[in-house]
A = this chain, B = another copy of it.
């Protein structure tokens, strides 16, 4: 479904949503272990997220990565698209260039409703929404 990089990114951002704020930064090495992702790898993913303003960071001593209020209001798709681009989620399921509503591929009408439903859901949910679910015990972020 999603690439590993996207899964790692989602886990990292959710972890930051619960465990950081502009006063409380988290070092990459302290984030890698609890979400069970290789440190060097998640570091690279975080760099990309930082570049695209999905997360915030400061360098040097007392530095770290974190989410500020603006970051928290981003949608979940923004994370996915930041890492693997939009096409992968919206492209024709059979990779047909000419697939469209007027000339749909055999899977188009079958699968697109579910797919579009999923995308809509991911567009409407913010990082903060999910963080509140975790904080209130409605969902969990285990290994």
By a beta-carbon cutoff of 8 Å, the part of chain A in contact with chain B is 1-2, 4, 7, 10-11, 14, 76, 88-89, 93-99, 103-111, 113-115, 117-118, 121-122, 125, 130, 133-134, 139-143
Distance from A20 Cβ to chain B, minimum over Cβ atoms (Å):
16
Q: Is the CB of A103 within 8 A of B11?
A: no
By Cβ-Cβ distance, the 8 closest A-B pairs, closest first, are A114-B118, A106-B130, A106-B139, A98-B142, A114-B117, A103-B140, A114-B114, A104-B139
Contacts of A97 in B (CB 8 A): 142-143
Residues of B within 8 A of A105 (CB): 139-142
Query: How far apart sit A49 and B97, CA to CA, in the bound complex (Å)?
Result: 25
